[in-house]
Each structure stands twice: as structure tokens, then as C-alpha cells.
Amino acid sequence: MKQSIGVVGTGRMGANMARRLKDCGYPVTVVFDVRPEAAQALAVELECRAAKTLEEVNSLASVVLTVVTDDAAMNGIFSESGDSLLRGARDHVFINCATVSPAIHREIANRAQQQGAHTLEACMASSITQARNGTLYLMIGGPSPVFESVRILLSHLSDDGKLLRYIGPTGTAAQVKALVNMVMNINTAGLAEGLGLGAALGLDLTLLREVFGQTGARSGVLQTDGEDMQNRAHDCYFSAAHAAKDSGIALQLAKEAGLHLPLASSTLEQFTRMVQVGLGELDKSGIAELTFPGRGPKSGSGV
Amino acid sequence: MKQSIGVVGTGRMGANMARRLKDCGYPVTVVFDVRPEAAQALAVELECRAAKTLEEVNSLASVVLTVVTDDAAMNGIFSESGDSLLRGARDHVFINCATVSPAIHREIANRAQQQGAHTLEACMASSITQARNGTLYLMIGGPSPVFESVRILLSHLSDDGKLLRYIGPTGTAAQVKALVNMVMNINTAGLAEGLGLGAALGLDLTLLREVFGQTGARSGVLQTDGEDMQNRAHDCYFSAAHAAKDSGIALQLAKEAGLHLPLASSTLEQFTRMVQVGLGELDKSGIAELTFPGRGPKSGSGV
């Protein structure tokens, strides 16, 4: 029998995962958001309940997907006092999909365990469209029996499981996700510098991107962000603010490990600068606004 | 009729290009190197002349490929006084393959033109094996009639021309090459940070590389250098010292354009540091020696 599903955090990712699971025949019974109107709209669409409290979510679903913003939000929904997903949690499985720190994943796992509940990290390395189509790249951390108990459900979200990777114990998936995004952000910031300098030199950027793609400069972000950088098409799929957050998580891990990572540090500074000058809600490709001549907050200087 | 070929600079790249052209039926008539014994060995192998002077090269070949180290070496072989490729140069075509600055390409083109000779930049974005097999990625800068006069020859070096790209006027190919290497070096330095932090966290680096390759962290250098970083296999294909030089060329262009490129700057610092601590002749993958815990000059600190 298919588990009843609740979704906490009905932003675009959470809403699309709910839609996908409903399409796959799962009873999506309840949704919740800190913005009640967002939850209500999705509830109408999915013909389910918009819970007023987190405890109510637990009363209506046995598997709860959480897709919240950051560590603080995770702390909030799994609060040890007041309304919380820890109330009425026994035997529930919480699948936590937000990109948050490994430490908070471990902390929440401990709190849930004390209530007789189970948690998994399901870190996503893809975006909104993939959530809707069920083709998310999912990295799973947590006890493997808990993973097995929801493997089929997760497979429906990850191209029949082809994009599903079990990483290891709680915290490791978030570590890998932080590293993926750290490296992706570095490559993005570097690409923006290469194309920005190409623009300054008056080169044909379409030819330059072609050459990058055929040489040692090729990368995933060249494919996903290169043309957008050239054309200043920065509609948000993955915001600069998110990039700053994720690079920050990775650099905190590096600090704890005693590693000095100058590229990751420079990248964090660039994305932080985007936030500071009001460009934080652009897509990460918007970092090109800092590196192309004549663009950016201080027009003409490129800085 | 196939043009007679001379090669100046008989390091591994130059020697392999000479071998390839001979295989393709070109008369490779003369070779030259500042190390006479290197030229002599290759001359014996190719059954051609090892020239004692650059003027002698011109007397024996109508098309001369030059593959030298840096701007200073280019200045030297095209010196306006003393022995030089400018002597007896009328109607010769010089194909300059070293990764040097756009400015020196333009300067040499002017000097050659005054002697009734022609120059092309042929910037290579591949390495020794590709030189031997005739599968170099070649970016050409210079007057297009000159390019057409040696297109067939260049096609033999670039997979029947499939990897041959005409970029634009003299200097532009070197600009594009500098940008390719700048971005490649950033991606390399960033990958070394990601894998180094993964090692510090105790993650399975083979799994981590697999995940990188399936997500936004994927890149050309992940394919070419990732496993070598993990296994400390730093046999030199493209040295850290070269990486430092190339990033330096790009940053000089950025400086002239008034652009501030923090990632490129951090990358140059890392490769310069490799040179300073005696790791400059490792492959560029050796930058992982600076970012993995327990490796590098100051063992244990990772710095």
C-alpha cells in the first residue's frame, strides 16, 4: 500500500514534488506552509488538507517531505517546544529535502529518534522542472533500513531511481550536496570571469562558448549558464542568495576541518556581494553582472 | 605540392607535430632547438637536418612551426638583430604554436611583415598525445589568406580539420587560448578544493567524483584530473608552472581592461604557490597537494 504523504514547505520545489507524487498515485493528504495562503492554494489544487499546525500534518500523513529554506527553518519545524513535527511523530518518516548543514540533519535525526520517528536526508541536485517531472538527482543520507522503507516513493521522484544515490549515514548526503554546490558555484564564478573578459576583449562570445565547450574549459555550468550570462537572462532557477548560503555551508565544513580553500572563499565573496548590492534574487548566472564590463552596480568598472 | 616544413623548438609538442607531419607525407626538412642535442636526436629520427642557426631553418623550409616556451623565447627567435627567423624570411609562413601573450603575437606579426613574411597563431588546447595523433584542437589567429595557404597542413594536425577553428585577426587566438586556460585552471583549483574537503570529511572520493559528474559540479577537468587528484598521480601533461603562466597572461589582459577577476587571481596565487614550494613541474592536478588534508609542503595543515 502506498504511504500517505504530507509536504511541509510548499514553495515551487515542494509543490512540484507533491504534484508528482499525486500523479504517481500516492495519497497526498496534507500540505503545510508558514504562508497559509500558499498551502491553501496547493491544497485546493491537490484536493487535500491545508494543515493549520505541524502536529496536524503528522495526524494525516505517515511520510512527510520537508522542503524549507535553511537551518533556522529546519530548527523551527522540528522544534522541541510548541507546535512541531516532533508531536505525534512515532513511526513517521521525515524526508528532509532542503539544502541545510550536515550538523542540523544530525541534530534533527536525534530529536526525531527520541520520539520514535525516522529521518532521511534527500538532498536534491536539480531544480524545479525536474521536481515536477520526477527526474530529480537525489542523494540520500540516513539509516539504510529507513531508506529501503521509502525507496519506491523516492524512485518516483528520481527517474525510476536512476538518479537516486544512497550516500551514507545521516549528514553525509548534505556534505556531498554542499561540495557539489561549492564546486558548481566556483565553476559558475569562474565562467563569468572568462566570458566577462572575453566581452572586454571584444571577442565573439558565442564562438568563445563553443571553444570553451570543446576544450578543458568545458563544464556543466557552461551548458546551463553560459548563454544566460551572455544574454543577461537571469530568471531565477537557483538564486545567488542560495549559492551564497551553500558555499557558506561548505566553507564552514572546511573551517572545522582546518582547510584553507581560497577559490571557495572568493566565490562566497562574489555571491555575497551580489546579495549586498541587491542582486541576490537573480539566478546564479547573474554573477556575470559583476564581471562583464559595463554591467553591474558600478557601471563601467565591472566591479 | 606539399610545403617543406621546419620546426623550431623540439620539445615533446614540437617533436610530435614534426612526426605527425612526416607521417602525413610532408617533407620535414629541418629542426632547431636551443638545446642542440635535442634537435640532433630528432633530426636523426626524422632523417632531416638539425640546423645550427635560425637563418638556416629558413633556407631549408618554407613553412616553419615554432613551439617555444614563452614571450621571451618568441622575442628571441624573432629577434631584430643577430641570428633570427627574420633572416631570409621572405614569403615564409611562420605558424606560432606556443601559448604566449596576444601582444607578442602582434609584435612578431609586424616584424615578419616587414621582412615580407607571414605569421599565424596556432594555439593548441590539447596535449602531447594529440600532437602525435594529429588530433590537436587548434585555434588560429591571423590574416585569413595566410590561414588558407596552410589550411591543409593544419588539418593534418587537427583530426582532418574537425578540430580546427579560425578565430580572427592576429592576437585573438591567443586571447581565446588564455581564456580557455584561465577558466580551466579555475575549474581545476576548484575541483581540488572540493575533493580535498571531501577527503577531510572522510567521504568516498570515488562516489563523490561520480556525483560531481552527474550534477552541476561536472566539468572537463573532473574527467581529466579528478581521479589523478584522488590518487596523487601527477605525472606532467600540463604543468602547474604553465598553468601559472597562462593564468598570468589572462590576468594581464584583465588588468588592461580594468576588470577585477577574484577567482582567476586566487587561482594564479595557488599555482604560483605550487611553483614557490617546488611543485611547479607536477601536472596541474598536483594542485590537490595544496588542498587535501595531510598533503602538501606543510603536511597536516593542508596549506
**In A, residues 148-177, which contact B (CB 8 Å cutoff)?**
163, 165, 167-168, 172, 175-176
* A5-169 and A175-290 have identical folds: no
Task: Residue A17: name the closest of A53, A56, A64 by CA.
Answer: A64
B182 and A194 within 8 Å at the Cβ level: the answer is: yes
**Model confidence pLDDT, tens digit, residues A1-37:** 789 999 999 999 999 999 999 999 999 999 999 999 9
Correct CATH for A175-290 of 3.40.1710.10, 2.20.25.160, 1.10.1040.10, 3.30.1130.10: 1.10.1040.10
Q: Does A131 touch chain B (CB under 8 A)?
A: no
CA distance B191 to B189: 6
B214 and A293 within 8 Å at the Cβ level: the answer is: no
Interface pTM (ipTM) of the complex? 0.90
CA distance A137 to A148: 17
Residues 6+ apart with CB under 8 A from A228: A234, A283, A285, A288
Q: Which of A196, A219, A250 sits opposite B219 (nearest CB)?
A: A219
Q: What is the dihedral of CA B105, B109, B110, B111, to 10 degrees?
A: 100
A217 and B180 within 8 Å at the Cβ level: the answer is: yes
Predicted confidence (pLDDT) at residue A298 exceeds the cutoff of 60: no
The domain ranges of chain A are 5-169, 175-290
Give the residue carrying C-alpha cell 620539445: B11
List of chain A residues whose C-beta atoms are within 8 Å of the C-beta of residue B211: 125, 139, 165, 167, 176, 180
pTM: 0.89
Q: What is the pLDDT of residue B238?
A: 87
Task: Residue B77: name the closest of B48, B97, B47 by CA.
Answer: B97
Q: DSSP 3-state assignment of B13?
A: helix
CA distance A302 to chain B (A): 6
CA distance B36 to A119: 70
CA distance B250 to chain A (A): 8
Q: What is the pLDDT of residue B302?
A: 42
Per-residue pLDDT averaged across A156-171, rounded? 96
Q: Which amino acid is at A26?
A: Y
Task: Residue A171: name the closest of A93, A71, A241, A77 by CA.
Answer: A71
Q: What is the pLDDT along chain B (303 residues), one digit of tens a residue?
A: 789 999 999 999 999 999 999 999 999 999 999 999 999 999 999 999 999 999 999 999 999 999 998 999 999 999 999 999 999 999 999 999 998 899 999 999 999 999 999 999 999 987 889 999 999 999 999 999 999 999 999 999 999 999 999 999 999 999 999 999 999 999 999 999 999 999 999 999 999 999 999 999 999 999 999 999 999 999 988 899 999 999 999 999 999 999 999 999 999 999 999 999 999 999 999 999 999 999 977 543 444
Q: Does B217 touch chain A (CB under 8 A)?
A: yes
Cell numbers that stand for A136 in this block: 530529480
Per-residue pLDDT averaged across A159-184, rounded? 96
Q: CA of A275: how far to CAs of A36, A122, B81, in Å?
A: 27, 27, 56
Q: What is the pLDDT of residue A147?
A: 98
The whole-chain average pLDDT of chain A stands at 95
Angle subtended at Cα B176 by Cα B149 and Cα B110, rounded to the nearest 5 degrees: 50
Q: Does A25 touch chain B (CB under 8 A)?
A: no
Q: What is the pLDDT of residue A303?
A: 41
Which 3-state string (H, E, C) describes B30-60? EEECCCHHHHHHHHHHHCCEECCCHHHHHHH
B215 and A125 within 8 Å at the Cβ level: the answer is: yes
Share of chain A above pLDDT 90, in %: 92
Q: CA of A272: how far to CAs of A154, A222, A278, B22, in Å?
A: 33, 21, 10, 55
Q: Which of B186, B187, B214 sits opposite A137 (nearest CB)?
A: B214
CA distance A36 to B196: 43
Q: Does B266 touch chain A (CB under 8 A)?
A: yes
Phi and psi based region of residue B165 (left: phi greater than 0; alpha: psi -120 to 50; beta: remaining): beta
Q: Does A303 touch chain B (CB under 8 A)?
A: yes
- According to DSSP, the β-strands at A164-168 and A138-141 are parallel
The domain made up of B5-169 is a member of CATH 3.40.50.720:
yes
